[in-house]
Structure formats: structure tokens, C-alpha cells
Amino acid sequence: MEEKLKVLIIDDEESMRDSCSLILKKDGYLINTAENGNEGLKKLEEWRPEFVLIDLKMPGIGGLEVLEKVKEIDPEIIPIVITGYATVESAVDAMKKGAYDFLPKPFTPEELRIIIKRGLERRNLIKEAESLRREKQLIEENFITMVTHQLRSPLVTIGQYFEVILGGIVGDIQPKQKEMITKARDRLEGLLELINDWLDIARLSNGQIIEKSKATSIREIIQKIIEFIHPQAKNEGISIEIFPVKGSDQALGDKDSLEQVFSNLIHNAVKYNKPNGKISINIEERKDCIATLIKDTGIGIAKEHLPLIFDQFYQVSRTKQKGKGSGLGLSIAQKIVEMHGGVIEVESEEGIGSTFTVCLPKPPGP
């Protein structure tokens, strides 16, 4: 047996409550009523209807205030405004506060039925969208498991076999064979990098980052990354200088995920730099954030590419590029920074270099 849908009518006019009740009961809805905003909010909490009809002009708590509370109580409730004081301004205000539709008094039974029917269609679409979102999330979670166990693990094993062969542990190999196996290993490493980056994007959770956020030293994170990357930079003749902090370097964030952000940016600054180039890093406290500027003297990015570099899988064609990446690194960095409530920006000039600026929120004051 199909469950009846519930409609709550909040109106200070008894005649309006009664007439709406009669109309909707005939259509098979369960009806409850409230004569003011306070009573209406209480019944919204306790009864949880699918629809609520709200009069704008009521003594005490008005209709607009009730509207603001509806989404807090249950975002799936469809609120419909009914009023005898209909104006363009009141309709706009109601829509801004979450009203699905606006029905001026007096209205006919058929007009009420039409609006409720449209609201029902909207509710069904919302439920269908939520169902699809959950299904998509489940598919993604299952796919992550599949990628991790059924793709990544065998590829890692193949890479280990390549290293054994190239190391001469199973016997000598001919130069041509070594060349082919080396190329295969390099391609395999690129595929593993792509898989790892994709897994990072799939696993990113805003809630987890917020829960783990605390006052974090950006300078300490960057110094750790510089120590790790120094041999590669030295081999390329690239110098890395971190300047004294201007003010505080304490940002509100999750240390592990921020390490991923700055590691990506500094690695790129080395990777796309010129031989004997420079990287300079400045950390400064601003009025509204902790800003970190990573500037390189590299090959730069053409103006037309700048709006696209944070898109997933987007790779700028660079004639002097040393190896190819997955095209996901900057997208991951942007997602992490935005989950922290921060902003990442870039300025670049082709042939001159690039400056990436990461602004992160400060910890709350004492």
C-alpha cells in the first residue's frame, strides 16, 4: 500500500487552513495545520511533512522566518508560500529564502492542486538525484577498491620484475633488450603515477580534512620538501631559496594533505625550470590568510593555457618538458586548498617563469 504524503498548512486564518485541508484531503494527502509560526516550526520538527504551505503575514514568527528554518529542519521538505500580500519583492524574498513556489490569495482549488503536483515532481526529482548520487558514490568506492587491488598491485609487481632484470640479477641482458625494458619500466611508472593521482582525487574528503585541521607551520612543511628534492634540483643546477617568514607561518590545515600540495608545486618548479634556474619561496602573513609564493625562472605557461591548468588531465604542451605527468597534480592541489577554505592562484609569462600563490586560513585567535 502506497504511503500517503503529508502536508502541513501554517496560516493564521482558520478559513484558509480549513479550505486547503478539504481540497488536499480529497486528493489523498495527510493534513496537519498550525495557526502561527511557532506552532508550525514545532510541527515541522515533530511531524516532518513532505510539503509545507506557509503564510507570509502571521503574528509572532513570520513566514520568511519559518522559511529560513525549513531547510535546517529537513532539506527535503518542499516549502510553498501562500499570501494575500503578494508583491514582486515578497516573492523574490521568499524564493531567496528557499521557497519552491509562490501562490497569491485568493486561489482556486485547481491552482493549489497544480502547485502541489509540481512540488511532488520536484521532490521526486530531488530523491532520484540523491539516489543517483549515492549510487555513483558506491560505484566510485568499489572502483577505488578494484583499481587498488586488481590494477595497482600487479603493476607494482611487474615493476619489481623489471628492476630485477635491469639489475642483472637473473643474468646479463643485451643493450637492445635493456633499452626496451627500460622504456617499458618508464611507461609503467607513468601509469602508476596516474593511478596514484586518481586514487588521491577519489579519496579526498572535505570532512576528513576539516576534522584533522590544526595550526600547522607552513615553513616546516616546505623545508621538509626541499630537503627531499634538493638532490634532484642540484643535479639540474637549480637553486632553491626560502626567505624569512613575514609575520606568522601558522595556517589552519591538515599537515599531510598540505605536504601534498606544496610537494606538487615545488616539484613542478624544478621540473619545468631552466638549467641553472632559481626557485624562491616566500611565506607571509596577510590580513585574511597565510600566503605562500613559489616563484621559478622556468619556461612559463602561455596566457591562453592559464585558465585551464587546474582542470583534471589537462596538460600544457611544453617543448622543454622533462617527462610527462598524469595531468592531475595541480587539480589535486587545488581541491585540497579549496577544502581548507583557501585559494590557489598562478601568474606566469612564457619564457620568464611562474609564480604560484597559496592562501590558507589562519587558526582561530585565542
Q: Which residues have CB under 8 Å from 67's CB, separation 6+? A: 54, 79, 81, 94, 97, 98, 99
In Å, what is the CA distance from 357 to each residue of 180, 243, 249, 292?
Answer: 41, 15, 14, 6
Tell me what the mean pLDDT of segment 303-329 comes to. 63
For 346, how many CA atoms within 13 A lie in the half-sphere containing its CB?
Answer: 24
What is the residue extent of each domain of the chain? 6-107, 135-203, 206-360
206-360 CATH fold: Heat Shock Protein 90 (3.30.565)
pLDDT tens digits for 120-172? 888 888 888 888 888 887 777 777 667 666 777 788 888 888 888 888 888 88
52 C-beta neighbours (distance < 10 Å), count: 29
Tell me what the mean pLDDT of segment 63-76 comes to. 88
Place 312 in a pLDDT band, splitting at 50, 70 and 90: low
Is the pLDDT higher at 309 or at 366? 309
Place 208 in a pLDDT band, splitting at 50, 70 and 90: low
Place 332 in a pLDDT band, splitting at 50, 70 and 90: confident
Place 59 in a pLDDT band, splitting at 50, 70 and 90: confident
Place 207 in a pLDDT band, splitting at 50, 70 and 90: low
Query: What percentage of the chain carries pLDDT values higher than 90?
Result: 40
6-107 CATH fold: Rossmann fold (3.40.50)
206-360 shares the fold of 6-107: no
pLDDT at 318: 45
Tell me what the mean pLDDT of segment 241-262 comes to. 92
Q: Rounded distance, CA 121 to CA 143, Å?
A: 32
